[in-house]
Every structure is written in C-alpha cells, then in structure tokens.
C-alpha cells in the first residue's frame, strides 16, 4: 500500500481584544504504514494450488444473462442437430471387467463424488455432464443453463461387493430430492436430482427405492429416472476435487467407510 496523505481543514477562532478573526489552517496527516497497521495485514493470503471456480453459492436465483436476451450469448442447442443426436445417445464407454456403471445427479458433483468414493465396492468415480443437447460441453457451457446437461457422477462398482441398492441409499442421503433444479445455494437445471440407469434392473430398483424414500419425506420427490446418456468427463481439475484438497487445500478422506462430514466446497 502506498503512503497516503490525508488533508483535513480545521477552523480555529483567533480572538483579540479588539475584534474576533477567523483563520483557516490546514493540517496534513501522514498515514504511514507504521502509524496504523503493518502492510503485511493487507497482503493477499497464500491461495490454494487448486483451481477456483465460478460456482455460485448465493441463495438468489441467477438472473438471465442480458447478452442471451439480446441474442449475443450462447445459443440454445437445436434438439434436431447432429450435436444433439450424439449427446442424447447412450453412454458407449465400457466399465472394467466384472464392473458396472451407474450415474447420479444430486447437485454439485464435488461432494457427491466424495461420498461415492467412500462406498466399499466402488472402484472408480468420475464427474461429468450428461443428459444435455450439446456435444463435448465445457463447464462454462453447462453453467449457462442452456445446454440441458446435469452435473453427474459416474460410478463404477463391483456388484459382488456393492449392490446398486447401496448406491441408491447413498444417493438419497446426500441431497434433498424434493427441490427442483436446486441444491442449497446452487440453483440451475444442471443441479437437478436424477438417477440414470444402464439396465432394466437398475431402472426397476431406482423406481422402487424412490417409492420407499417418498414415505420418509414430507414433500413430493422430483428426482428424474432416465436411461443413462452419453457421459462427458468434466475438466481434470473437477475430478476428485475434494479428495485433492478443494479450493482451500484441505484434503478430505476418500477412504472406504469414512464417515467424516463432507465440506462441499472444500
């Protein structure tokens, strides 16, 4: 911080025996760094080596981008385009030998991924985007709210060690499935609740689980249950974000069976 000079005007009455005159004196006060606070107080704190994001944490619903309204912002994908046809296709990735895939959307994917990382029998997790109309979307694309994607966690699990029902139990416990397009302060269609199945057995289990969970919540569940669509892996800095340290550099345990509270933003 540069040294600052502040000027104060004071009016001092000077009285004599014959008449009262008023003169104005100017006092210059030097605000040096040693006079008040050390400069170190104003130096930026060391930041985490992990990338920051523009993820909103306000309880306000983000206003529509004025550029979009004027026709200069991101365009809404054409559902009949070739890009949309690819994005709406099935997830053609192949799980490891003896493994199965499942996809879940439950708000911000950072905390959801860490929760699934801790489940015994889960062998791999990835965060990404699915269910949208744009081929190869970026995080910025998804955040516009125009692409139709959901933030999802793709879970690879060994059915011998982990049932799909166990994953569903974790899914319900990690979010509020009664809030439409919103989890806490995260608002937008990308934060919607969803179970995206790969097999008829998963579909049936998901529907039965939702009926059961509806009996323990006092508002209608808005979770969508749909076939898994093409999975677009999110940018590398999003992967295992909280286990790597999150925005503040404090690693959170991904050990199997860990019950430590999850700090959703690191």
175, 105 Cβ separation under 8 angstroms: no
Token digits of residue 7: 């000027």
Range list of H helices, the chain: 66-70, 82-87, 109-117, 139-143, 164-173, 200-214, 241-244
Cβ atoms of residues 39 and 1 within 8 Å? yes
CB 237 within 8 A of CB 50: yes
108 part of the active site: yes
Q: How many helices (H) and strands (E) does the chain have?
A: 7, 10
Identify which of 107, 112, 195, 188 has the alpha carbon closest to the alpha carbon of residue 151: 107
- CA distances (Å), origin 66, targets 39, 63, 76: 40, 8, 15
- CB-based contact 110:103 (threshold 8 Å): no
Could you say which of 108, 143, 162, 264 is catalytic? 108
Residue 115 and residue 107 in contact, taking contact as beta carbons nearer than 8 Å: no
Q: Which residue has the tokens 């998963």?
A: 202
Q: Which residues contact 220 (CB under 8 A, 6 or more apart)?
A: 178, 214
Positions annotated as catalytic residues are 108
């Amino acid at each position: 911080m540069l040294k600052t000079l502040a000027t104060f005007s004071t009016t001092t009455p000077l009285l004599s025996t014959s008449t009262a005159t008023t003169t104005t004196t100017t006092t210059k006060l030097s605000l040096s760094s040693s006079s008040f606070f050390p400069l170190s107080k104003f130096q930026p704190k060391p930041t985490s080596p992990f990338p920051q994001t523009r993820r909103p944490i306000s309880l306000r619903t983000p206003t529509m981008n004025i550029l979009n309204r004027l026709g200069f912002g991101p365009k809404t994908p054409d559902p009949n385009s070739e890009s949309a046809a690819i994005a709406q296709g099935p997830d053609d990735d192949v799980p490891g030998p003896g493994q199965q895939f499942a996809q879940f959307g439950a708000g911000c994917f950072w905390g959801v991924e860490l929760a699934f990382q801790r489940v015994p029998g889960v062998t791999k997790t990835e965060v990404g985007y699915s269910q949208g109309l744009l081929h190869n979307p970026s995080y910025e694309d998804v955040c516009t709210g125009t692409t139709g994607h959901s933030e999802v966690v793709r879970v690879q699990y060994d059915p011998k060690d982990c049932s799909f029902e166990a994953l569903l139990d974790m899914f319900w416990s990690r979010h509020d499935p009664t809030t439409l397009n919103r989890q806490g302060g995260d608002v937008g269609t990308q934060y919607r609740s969803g179970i995206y199945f790969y097999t008829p057995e998963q579909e049936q289990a998901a529907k039965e689980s939702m009926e059961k969970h509806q009996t323990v919540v006092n508002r209608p569940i808005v979770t969508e249950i749909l076939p898994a669509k093409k999975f677009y892996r999110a940018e590398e800095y999003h992967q295992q974000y909280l286990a790597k340290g999150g925005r503040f550099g404090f690693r959170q345990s991904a050990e199997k069976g860990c019950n430590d509270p999850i700090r959703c933003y690191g």
